[in-house]
Amino acid sequence: MFKNVIVRTPCPAVINGITSAPELGKPNYEKALRQHEAYIEALKKCGVTVTVLPADDDFPDSCFVEDAAVITRCGTVITNPGASSRKGEQDRILPTIRSFFPEESIARIESPGTLEGGDVMMVGDRFYVGRSARTNAEGIRQFKAILAGWGLKGIEVPLKKVLHLKTGVNYIEQGNLLVSGEFIENPLFSDFHKILIPEEEAYAANCIWVNGTVIVPEGYPAVRQAIEKAGYPVLTVDTSEFRKIDGGLSCLSLRF
């Protein structure tokens, strides 16, 4: 169960967030703010306390707090983002992490290692970590060593096409895994009960489990139906403005 969630209000510069899909246009700032508020409301409905950090205009992508830290039941890993415009976001999240956890439980990924939290998927005490354009071999080596020191396990997943591991695969507890595209046939995930995400709804592979409920992006009926069929109550949140800059539901929060 999660008690707490950390989010950061999108900043005006969010319209210049990194994107692989410029054809979708730039986010509308006012709309992004409203969608972010609705996201917070959905989280609150799941019974968590939400800490809302102020907008940070130095970093266009700073609302995607998931990438700056990985919080486990044993300790927190402050990451080292691989994208140049995101380097430094980890230092902005650190004071908040310190307000929740003792210093000795906080570790860091150091250069030349890079790692972004969107590449890390928690399955109990196992942490699948994508080797991506943002997370390199040295970052994964450091991450696994930190986890091992806490009695946790890291498992590397090579990525082919997607930005982050959780762009394409997400664990929603009870053995259930949302899987899309390149991950469907990956033997690393053969022991899960797979819920297959159709290609035309691939964006909705990024859903989050929060205390029994699954939050699903609005506008992806096949995914919503499949998750309901698996027995979960579902809440939907419109994330259209974040999608324009490759952001999804998981990227927008740290849950612990």
Residues of the shown chain interacting with ligand CIR in the complex, contacts defined by CB under 6 A: 17-18, 61, 64, 66-67, 83, 86, 118, 164, 166-167, 245-248, 250-251
Which of 11, 46, 63, 251 is flagged as catalytic?
251
The distance of closest approach from Cβ of residue 229 to ligand CIR in the complex, given in angstroms and rounded to an integer, is 26
The distance of closest approach from Cβ of residue 136 to ligand CIR in the complex, given in angstroms and rounded to an integer, is 15
Complete edge-to-edge strand list for the sheet that includes strand 126-131: 120-123, 126-131, 153-158
Reply yes or no on whether 251 is catalytic: yes
Of residues 62 and 176, the one with the C-beta less far from ligand CIR: 62
Of residues 40 and 151, the one with the C-beta less far from ligand CIR: 40
Strands 213-217 and 234-237 come out as: parallel
Task: Report the b/e string of 129-161 with b at 16+ CB within 10 A.
Answer: bbbbbbbbebbbebbbebbeeeebebebbebee
Amino acid, res. 61:
D
The distance of closest approach from Cβ of residue 193 to ligand CIR in the complex, given in angstroms and rounded to an integer, is 23
The distance of closest approach from Cβ of residue 167 to ligand CIR in the complex, given in angstroms and rounded to an integer, is 6
Helix (H, G, I), strand (E, B) or coil at 65: helix
Q: Which residue is nearest to ligand CIR (CB)?
A: 118
Which of 11, 36, 63, 164 is flagged as catalytic?
164
d(CA 154, CA 63): 26
Quickly count helices (H) and strands (E) in the chain.
6, 15
Reply yes or no on whether 164 is catalytic: yes
Catalytic residue set: 164, 251
